[in-house]
Every structure is written in C-alpha cells, then in structure tokens.
Amino acid sequence: MNLYSGYYSLVQFCPNPARAEVANIGVIVFCPDAKFLETRLVSGNDRIRRIFGDGFDSNLIDGAKEALQARLIEEKSNFRTLDDLNKFIATRANDIRVTVPRFLKTEDPLQELENLFKEFVGGRSRKLKEKNPVLSQIYQLFCRPSLEGKIETKKKITLPFVEKIIEFPYAYRNGIQNLIQLPEFSLRNDQWYHKAFELAGEGYSIQKVMENGNLARKIIIIPIIEQISGYKKIEKNIHDIFMDHEIEVVESSEVEKYVDRVEAEAH
C-alpha cells in the first residue's frame, strides 16, 4: 500500500487562553497526496463539562463545532498544501481553536483519523446533519467571537394568556428584547399557510405584552422556505402574513447584513 505523508491537528475548547486550559474535542487529518481532509468532532460536551464545569452555553459550542465542520467540508477542495491548513487555523478566533499541525505518515488516512480521535478525544463522534444552507449560514454567523456574551440562545418565552412555552434560537438586547425565530416551511401542501398564521399570531401577542422588567419585545422572523417551483409567490405571501402582524422579516439574502446589524447594536 502507499504510504502517505500528512498532518493532524487537535480541535480544542479553550475559553481562557491565559490559563492555557483546554479540552480536546476533535481531530483534523490532512493528507495532500491522498487529497484527504476530514475531521472528527465529539458528539456531546461531557469532556468540557468535566474540565470547566457547567458555566458555558452548550448550544453555542455545538454551533461553533458545526460551523467548523461545515467550513472544512465546504472548502475541502481549496486545501492543497500545509500552508492552506495553517491559513485556516489562523482564522480561528473563538473558544474553539485548532493546534499547530503535526507530521504523520499513514497507509490509511481515514483509519488514522479514527485512531487519533480515539487516542486524544474518545467518546462518540458527531455526524454533520444535512441542513438547509441558510440555516448553516445563520449558525456560523451567530458564532462570531464579537457576539460572545451579547447573544442568548434557546430563549424560552411563555405565550401570554396560555400555558405555552416558545423557544427562540437567538435573542439579544439593544434597548428592547429581540427574539429571533427560524421557522422552516415545507411547500408540499397548504400547511405553510396555517403555520405562518399561527406563528404570526403568537409573535403579535408576545410583542404586545412586555416582559417582567418592562422591556419591550420584538420578534424577528428569518423564514427558511423550501425552494420548489413557484416558491417565490408563496414566499411573498409568508412575508406578508408576518408583516401584517407587525413582525420584522429578514430575507435569506439579507441574513449576513442583519447579523452585522446585531453585532453593532447588541449589548
């Protein structure tokens, strides 16, 4: 069998670089000659919890892991040399960091990846779920280091007048409480119509009742709409339903611009 030269890096959670405490949460193996670039990341956050306790946001960590894994998949064809890998590592600026590559030789890069994961990380590796590209973009954008501490995740709100709890993936404050919802709409039947009206009605009710601290609320909807034949007309109808209920709608093409706005306003 061929013996391939390559490199491996550890993926680590490091919330405080000054303390130099880390938890290994994954491995990257890159073998240019075999055109191989793969990563394995741990499924849960038990190792992080054992080392650092419960003072972290699991949802943000999972989002950061997913963003890292997704980016490596998306840019796989651009990795040709060690310099490409080092440039990627240099872009890591949040709590999830990647170590300096170490040299290796292997006959089977995939098996080498599994062995290194078992040796340095352990546990079950996570599989990247296929996700709507807009959702993947949103998760990556909200993992910006500049938003750390400004964004709440999995914010639970009790719907006024009824015992129903609604969970919003993201929330932030800028003088009011902004609650971001990411509903997915299938257009295979007319259920999109009922779903849009239900969410719009709930959002309207939440906006009309201030929270306990007398802070006004605002709902922001980023609709994830199935793109099948004729979807543009239905997309407009969905947008109109929300806007008729005084709810802001962010189109998928405007997501990055919207997150830039959140970055500037959130505190």
3 state DSSP class of 67: helix
Q: What is the reported pLDDT for 1?
A: 60
Q: Are 39 and 69 in contact (CB under 8 A)?
A: yes
Q: What is the reported pLDDT for 126?
A: 65
Has residue 196 got a pLDDT over 90? Answer: yes
The model's confidence at residue 129, banded by pLDDT at 50, 70 and 90, is low
Q: What whole-number distance in Å separates Cα of residue 3 and Cα of residue 20?
A: 35
| Domain ranges, ordered by start, for the chain | 4-130, 137-265
For residues 154-160, give the mean pLDDT: 86
- Across the chain, what does the average pLDDT equal? 87
The answer to whether domain 137-265 has CATH 1.10.3470 is no
